[in-house]
């Protein structure tokens, strides 16, 4: 994995951690978050584990469902 790919994977790891932490603070299961975002529970798990990319649209929907700004989920990624 080249340096750029490593940095991108780290970005996804931090983003996934931020989503998981906020979801837990809000008392939501992956299933409830997935329902709010209109996606599958396993996709939320994959995002949280940095196994899948997500679109800006999905990131926006997740932020809205978690009642935070998108930039709050991106903290620490740059």
Interatomic CA distance for residues 23 and 5, integer angstroms? 27
The domain spans of the chain are 3-73
Residues 27-52, mean pLDDT to the nearest whole number: 98
Interatomic CA distance for residues 63 and 4, integer angstroms? 26
List the one residue out of 20, 26, 24, 11 whose CA is nearest residue 76. Answer: 11
Residues 34-47, mean pLDDT to the nearest whole number: 98
Q: Which residue has the tokens 């790919």?
A: 5
Percent pLDDT > 70 in the chain is 99
Distance of CA 41 to the CA centre of its chain: 12
Q: In 10 A of CB 70, how many CB atoms?
A: 12
pLDDT at 1: 67
pLDDT at 14 over 70: yes
Which CATH superfamily includes the segment(s) 3-73? lambda repressor-like DNA-binding domains (1.10.260.40)
Residues 33-57, mean pLDDT to the nearest whole number: 97
């Amino acid at each position: 994995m080249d340096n750029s790919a490593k940095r991108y994977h780290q970005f996804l790891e931090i983003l996934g951690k931020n989503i998981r932490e906020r979801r837990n603070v809000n008392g939501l299961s992956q299933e409830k978050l997935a329902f709010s975002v209109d996606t599958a529970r396993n996709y939320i798990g994959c995002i949280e584990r940095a196994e899948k990319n997500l679109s800006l649209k999905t990131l926006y929907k997740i932020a809205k469902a978690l009642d935070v700004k998108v930039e709050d989920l991106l903290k620490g990624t740059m």
